[in-house]
Amino acid sequence: MIDLHVHSVFSDGTNTPEELIKMAQERGLSAMALTDHDTVGGIAPLMAAAADSPVEAVPGIELSAECERGTMHILGYFIDTANDVLLEKINTVREGREERNVEILKKLNKLGYVLMWSDVEQEAGADVVGRPHFAAALVKRGHVKSRKAAFDLLLAKGRPAYSERYRYTASECIELIRRAGGVSVLAHPATIYMPERQLKALVRELREQGLGGIEAYYAEHHPENIARFSGWAKEFGLVCTGGTDFHGGNTPDLKLGTGFGQLRVPDEALALLKDAKSKQNN
């Protein structure tokens, strides 16, 4: 059993990389990829923890890209976390997040939802502060009943406290991951809200730009989604991957490795990713 989509405290998860390796071992996983949002800060402790574990640790990242109807996410696997170009781009995104966070805080306070920056920092992990941390702080302050309510009422796109931030284009994500020696994979395609024909055309276009895989196996994908995207992977010559998108306490009903209980990511996905990396770099 493997899980190729996991988040830690270095982005919007609640577990440290060390805790995740321990959990993966306890749940019988043979491999796990850490794919924090726009940061590789958790990779070094992940690899160190895995050195004395039977769990194979895969260095990864999840990048947010502009999309016609919002955003899409591109996963990168087996990246060189010391790559200068990658680190420079990550820093650009970090600066954009910081500017966006200031705007969100201003808007919330202007709307009467009083928060201090320290409230948000307390909810954040070791690295990236994002909207989920604002949501958690709003709950703790008693402004809303749940994180979902915070997004629905205030933080989602189109809501009064939402603020845009810098994002890559999909082609920039793919090229950045390639330059860092990694393989790019389109994350949870069913969450990209566009008609099926248009989505398939997008996948074809991304493949032409160098996309290496598609995340067909995903906790929230129905069997028909898995079948559809697996078929597209075969049609376009993409690696078919999968993962839970585990965030620890931020996704309490979702389990590492199995999602909501029914997910099984084929072990061969990891071998195919390694093969794709080898071919790409030769």
Q: What is the pLDDT along the chain (282 residues), one digit of tens a residue?
A: 999 999 998 888 889 999 999 999 999 999 999 999 999 999 999 999 999 899 999 999 999 888 766 788 999 999 999 999 999 998 988 888 889 899 999 999 999 999 998 888 888 755 568 888 899 899 999 999 998 899 999 998 889 999 887 778 899 999 999 999 999 999 999 988 889 999 999 999 999 999 999 999 998 888 999 999 999 999 999 999 999 999 888 777 889 988 888 889 999 999 999 999 988 876
In this predicted model, what pLDDT tens digit does every residue of 21-73 receive, in sequence order? 999 999 999 999 999 999 999 999 999 999 989 999 999 999 988 876 678 89
Spatial distance between the Cα atoms of 239 and 6, rounded to a whole number of angstroms: 18
Predicted local distance difference test score (pLDDT) of residue 125: 59
Fold of 94-155: DNA polymerase; domain 1 (1.10.150)
Contact 216, 226 (CB under 8 A): yes
Measured CA to CA in angstroms, residue 203 lies from 23, 179, 199, 217 at distances of 33, 21, 6, 16
- Kindly list the strands in the beta sheet with 183-186, ordered across the sheet, starting from the edge strand earlier in the chain: 2-6, 31-34, 56-67, 70-77, 183-186, 213-218, 239-243
Backbone angles phi, psi at 99, to 5 degrees: -65, -40
Q: What is the pTM of this model?
A: 0.86
Three-state DSSP at 20 gives helix
* Domain boundaries, given as residue ranges, for the chain: 2-89+166-274, 94-155
CATH number assigned to the domain with residue range 2-89+166-274, chosen from the 4 options 3.30.465.10, 3.20.20.140, 1.10.10.10, 1.10.540.10: 3.20.20.140
What pLDDT does residue 41 have?
92
Structure tokens at 209: 């730009």
Cβ neighbours for 11, distance < 8 A, ≥ 6 positions apart: 36, 37, 38, 39, 42, 62, 125, 127, 128, 130
